[in-house]
Amino acid sequence: MKIVFTIFMWIIGSIFGSFFNVVGYRIPRNLSIVKPGSFCPKCNHSLKWYELIPILSYIIQGGKCRCCHERISIIYPIIEVTTAILFSTSYFVFGFSYELIIALVVASFLVIVIVSDINYLIIPDEVTFFFCILMFIIKLAKEGILHSIESLLSGLFLFLLMYVIMLLGNMIFKKESLGGGDVKLMFFVGIVIGPILGMFSIFLSSLIALPLSLIVYLKNKNNVIPFGPFILIATFALILFQVDNSGILSLFW
């Protein structure tokens, strides 16, 4: 039965991935995510329902628009598959539980940030604000008002910590080292996993980003690496592998 529900979560994830593509592309451009409906960015052809089936429509149409026959960006199906993997993996690990809800929210935010930060080097404040509110409501419903307030304080602590890191980075490198969106993102991380795991997520995200940063730096020293996705990848990994504070503290003591 677990396999059946895992497949179901894969399908749900691919559907949400299609929607997250829209959110990640439109909100940074101040466009509505409701109107107009999905359309081809090359010829503005309004897509029919059978052109919007996640993953399958791209494969059936050979990666081209049915109307103008121009290539459709491979990013669209990649995001759909990525979301499907994250959703189905989350269910496989946690089953139907409170932890699953947390994992799905983080995965959703991660996918939207991947789309927006890679394409526009922007993490829209509206998106961050929405997910912070959503996560606070989830915490409040499950853990009560006191723990929810602690989560907000954790978020504030990590926000200030990341802000200080940004200021130091700007001084050392004589240019913008982190975006404001990355700093605000840490408020969300603090609400989700608390201060200790949150601080470790900064280290872990830097470690994950290091190889790509070196490759990009060697190719073009002026290129900018979006850091937001790596922060949420690290956060999601800590949740998925169920790392807790004691596990992190044991690494240092």
CA-CA-CA-CA torsion sign (95, 98, 99, 105): positive
Per-residue pLDDT for 33 more than 80?
A: yes
Which tens digit of pLDDT belongs to each residue from 183-221? 999 999 999 999 999 999 999 999 998 888 777 667 765
Backbone angles phi, psi at 123, to 5 degrees: -110, 105
Band (pLDDT 50/70/90 cuts) for residue 157 is very high
Higher pLDDT, 90 or 174: 90
- State the Cα–Cα distance between residues 120 and 25, nearest whole angstrom: 8
Residues 163/156, Cβ–Cβ less than 8 Å: no
Segment 108-136 mean pLDDT: 95
Lowest mean pLDDT among 38-52, 109-123, 128-142, 228-242: 38-52
DSSP state for residue 29 in the 8-state scheme: G
Threshold 0.85, pTM exceeds:
yes
Task: Determine which of 89-93, 110-114, 208-212 has the lowest per-residue pLDDT on average.
Answer: 208-212
Structure tokens at 67: 């109307």
Say how far apart CA 148 and CA 143 lie, in whole Å.
Answer: 7
Instruction: Tell me the pLDDT of the chain averaged across its residues.
Output: 90
Residue 10 pLDDT level (bands cut at 50, 70, 90): very high
- The encoded tokens of residue 165 equal 């890191």
**pLDDT tens digit sequence for 40-59:** 777 877 878 788 889 999 99
For the chain, percent of residues with pLDDT exceeding 90:
64
